[in-house]
Amino acid sequence: MKPIAHIESDFPEKFGIPRQSGIVPELQAKIVFETEFLNPDYIRGIEGFSHLWLIWLFSEVPTDRKASPTVRPPRLGGNTRMGVFATRSPFRPNPIGLSSVRLEQVVKEKNGSFSLWISGADLMHGTPILDIKPYLPYTDSHPEAVGGFADEKPRESLSVTFPDELLSRIPAEKRDALLHLLACDPRPSYQNDPDRRYHMNFSGFRISFQVKEETLAVAAVEIAR
């Protein structure tokens, strides 16, 4: 298999990326097709679908890492082992990811090239896309489904304190997504050190913050280097 496209997102590294697609719907990303697949016939009719499935590669997983039958899901605190096929861990025999995203816009250029703008993506910038398939509500949606140990939907668990002088450094169109992302607690679930300062790269900025009890306080916003 070979990539048909790659993603352009606000996340140059994995820290801070939502743990599932759709958790932060304000997040915008762009699918850029490889030259070989820039024939507009490849996406003919795609405008008729509101959501898409993306099949992609965990490109940052070391290729020489030995596959393990069990992993430790962050959802369970990183201490309990579960079967890899009962999780969405990136450390799999085949490092393939699956995301459900909203199709916001098909952008067609005068030179014949095109791209897809999507929202709710949980992918790192540069992630290779292997395939795109339409989401079909009549068969892909299962309201009665049971989610096992991950059945409870993650919630916005933190109150965010973001000084106006720091928030003003973030482009206006990115602020809602960033605030929602921080409220969802970007830390690994097994880390809870109130004295630790965390750093997250987002949309060209380095966001520094601390979390004490139920409040996330942003301490600095700098241009990422």
* CATH, residue 197: 3.30.2310.20
Single-letter amino acid code for the residue at 181: L
Are 51 and 107 in the same domain?
A: yes
- Give the DSSP letter string of 115-181: EEEEES----TTPEEEEEEE--HHHH--TT---GGG-SPP----EEE--HHHHTTS-HHHHHHHHHH
Backbone angles phi, psi at 77, to 5 degrees: 85, 0
pLDDT band at 155 (very low <50, low <70, confident <90, very high): low
Distance of alpha carbon 3 from alpha carbon 17, whole angstroms: 21
Are 116 and 212 in the same domain?
A: no
Are 132 and 185 in the same domain?
A: no
Distance of alpha carbon 97 from alpha carbon 17, whole angstroms: 14
Q: How many CB atoms lie within 10 A of CB 27?
A: 28
The domain that holds 113 is classified in CATH as 2.40.30.70
With residue 202 as reference, give the H or E element that holds it.
strand 198-202
Radius of gyration of the chain (CA): 19
User: How many separate domains does the chain show?
Assistant: 2
How confident is the model at residue 193, as a pLDDT?
84
In a domain, 151, yes or no: no
Domain that holds residue 99: 5-59+95-140
Are 48 and 106 in the same domain?
A: yes
Distance of alpha carbon 131 from alpha carbon 1, whole angstroms: 10
Are 11 and 101 in the same domain?
A: yes
Distance of alpha carbon 217 from alpha carbon 103, whole angstroms: 33
Distance of alpha carbon 108 from alpha carbon 26, whole angstroms: 22
Are 103 and 187 in the same domain?
A: no
Are 118 and 218 in the same domain?
A: no
Domain boundary residue, one of 111, 140, 169? 140
Are 15 and 119 in the same domain?
A: yes
Are 104 and 215 in the same domain?
A: no
In a domain, 179, yes or no: yes
pTM for this model (two decimals):
0.90
Backbone angles phi, psi at 76, to 5 degrees: -105, 20
How confident is the model at residue 113, as a pLDDT?
87
Distance of alpha carbon 13 from alpha carbon 8, whole angstroms: 12
In a domain, 113, yes or no: yes
Are 47 and 134 in the same domain?
A: yes
In a domain, 82, yes or no: no
In a domain, 67, yes or no: no
In a domain, 35, yes or no: yes
Q: Which of 18-32, 48-62, 65-79 has the lowest mean pLDDT?
A: 65-79
How confident is the model at residue 211, as a pLDDT?
94
In a domain, 152, yes or no: no
pLDDT at 157 over 90: no
Tokens of 116: 């897809």
Are 183 and 121 in the same domain?
A: no
* Residue 40, CA distances (Å) to 19, 36, 44, 156, 197 in order: 32, 11, 6, 40, 47
Average pLDDT for the chain = 91
pLDDT band at 150 (very low <50, low <70, confident <90, very high): confident
Top-confidence residue, 64 or 25:
25
Task: Note whether 18 and 181 are within 8 A (CB).
Answer: yes
Are 21 and 123 in the same domain?
A: yes
Q: What is the pLDDT of residues 112-137, one digit of tens each?
A: 789 999 999 999 999 999 999 999 99
